[in-house]
A and B are shown apart, each in its own frame.
Chain A
């Protein structure tokens, strides 16, 4: 994930896409969109692990714990589906 962020920063600072067309063209390049998808996959797994730990540490009643973890799982999957839709254009 860190590699992707560094890559993004380097690219933008070297040749900032100044127009919608340039931005879209760059992002929809197969290599960049795959990298973006991998980044978000890694991000969603990472946030799952992190927020799950926070919930487990601070929320003890079983019902609340289960509901919050379920909510977390659903929102992570939803964000993943959203990113897929954004990158592959079907909305």
Chain B
């Protein structure tokens, strides 16, 4: 290895859990993960809609479903996913119209997304759980 590179040897590892990710990467990846989670749950939501409209008994079952703690926890997680996806999505849309594209602004908007999303999740936990 050339002398210059040897004296500035950097650690090389491919274990993702050991690489320090910038906040912007976390927000962006979270946007994708949240999207996939929401897409997977969409049919479930359609099913619950169908159940609630089918008959009074169906409606009662749908309501009873949401009394269960496990379902409520899932509901909070879905709200978290939706909040993150929407907020990070708006951030992406702003990038598309060239708003906040400097590195500094991007890092700030990433933290703003996380802050708003946290408040939404706390609110959701308060309302649902």
Q: Do A and B bind each other?
A: yes
- Chain A interface (Cβ within 8 Å of chain B)? 2, 19-21, 23-24, 27, 40, 43, 47, 50-51, 54, 75, 79, 82-83, 86
**Which of B49, B56, B58, B86 contacts A2 (CB under 8 A)?**
B86
Contact across chains for B53 and A86 when beta carbons are under 8 A apart: yes
Complex-state Cα separation, A47 to B43, whole angstroms: 12
Q: Tell me the minimal C-beta distance from A66 to chain B in angstroms.
A: 19
Q: Tell me the minimal C-beta distance from B39 to chain A in angstroms.
A: 4
Q: Tell me the minimal C-beta distance from A86 to chain B in angstroms.
A: 5
Contact across chains for A23 and B59 when beta carbons are under 8 A apart: yes
Contact across chains for A20 and B35 when beta carbons are under 8 A apart: no
Q: Tell me the minimal C-beta distance from B117 to chain A in angstroms.
A: 15
CB contact under 8 A between A20 and B43, given known A2-B86, A82-B50, A86-B53: no
Task: With A19-B56, A82-B46, A83-B46 given, name 19 new contacts (CB 8 A).
Answer: A2-B86, A19-B59, A20-B52, A20-B56, A20-B58, A20-B59, A21-B56, A23-B52, A24-B59, A27-B53, A43-B42, A50-B35, A50-B39, A51-B35, A51-B39, A75-B43, A82-B50, A83-B49, A86-B46
Complex-state Cα separation, A15 to B114, whole angstroms: 31
Q: Tell me the minimal C-beta distance from A5 to chain B in angstroms.
A: 8
